[in-house]
C-alpha cells in the first residue's frame, strides 16, 4: 500500500502553486489587489483572532463555498479579477487548497508561507 503523507501532498502541491511571503501578501492587501481568504477553523479564529479584511472559508468547505455559482462570487464579495491569497495557521492547508482551486480553474491563486503566524509577525491587523 502506497499512501502519501500530508507532507508529501504539500510538497507535490508546492511544485504547482505560487507561494508568497507574508510581506508580499501585506503589500497586495494594502493596495487592494487581492482577496485574503482565511482557511482556519472557527475555533482557531476564536483563539487567535482574524486578519482584518479577510474572508473566512474553512478548508473543509472551500470547494462548496467558492465556485462560479457561489454567493461570494455572484455578489462580488470575492472579486475573481483580483488575486486570491489563501492562508491557514502555518501554510499546509493553504498549499493544498491553492492546488485545489487551481484544479477547479481559478487563476492568480497563491498561499502565504508561514500562514497566520507569519502574517501576524509582518504586521497584519488582527481583530480579536
Give the model confidence (pLDDT) of 32-88 as tens digits. Answer: 999 999 999 999 999 999 999 999 999 999 999 999 899 999 999 999 999 999 999
Report CA-CA distances (Å) from 16 to 5, 31, 36.
Answer: 18, 26, 20
- Structural domains in the chain? 11-127 (3.40.250.10)
- Residue carrying the nine cell digits 484544479: 103
The 10s digit of each residue's pLDDT in 79-114 is: 999 999 999 999 999 999 999 999 999 999 999 999
pTM for the predicted model, two decimal places:
0.95
Q: Cβ–Cβ contacts within 10 Å for residue 76, how many?
A: 9
Q: Are strands 83-87 and 34-38 parallel, antiparallel or unpaired?
A: parallel
Q: Return the C-alpha cell found at 125.
A: 491587523
Amino acid at each position: 500500500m502506497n499512501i502519501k503523507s500530508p507532507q508529501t501532498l504539500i510538497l507535490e502541491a508546492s511544485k504547482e502553486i505560487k507561494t508568497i511571503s507574508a510581506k508580499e501578501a501585506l503589500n497586495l492587501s494594502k493596495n487592494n489587489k487581492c482577496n485574503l481568504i482565511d482557511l482556519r477553523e472557527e475555533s482557531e479564529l476564536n483563539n487567535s483572532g482574524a486578519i482584518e479584511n479577510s474572508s473566512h472559508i474553512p478548508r473543509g468547505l472551500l470547494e462548496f463555498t467558492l465556485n462560479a455559482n457561489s454567493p461570494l462570487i455572484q455578489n462580488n464579495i470575492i472579486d475573481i479579477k483580483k488575486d486570491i491569497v489563501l492562508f491557514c495557521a502555518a501554510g499546509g492547508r493553504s498549499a493544498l487548497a491553492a492546488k485545489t482551486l487551481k484544479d477547479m480553474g481559478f487563476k492568480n491563486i497563491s498561499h502565504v508561507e508561514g500562514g497566520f503566524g507569519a502574517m501576524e509577525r509582518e504586521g497584519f491587523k488582527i481583530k480579536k
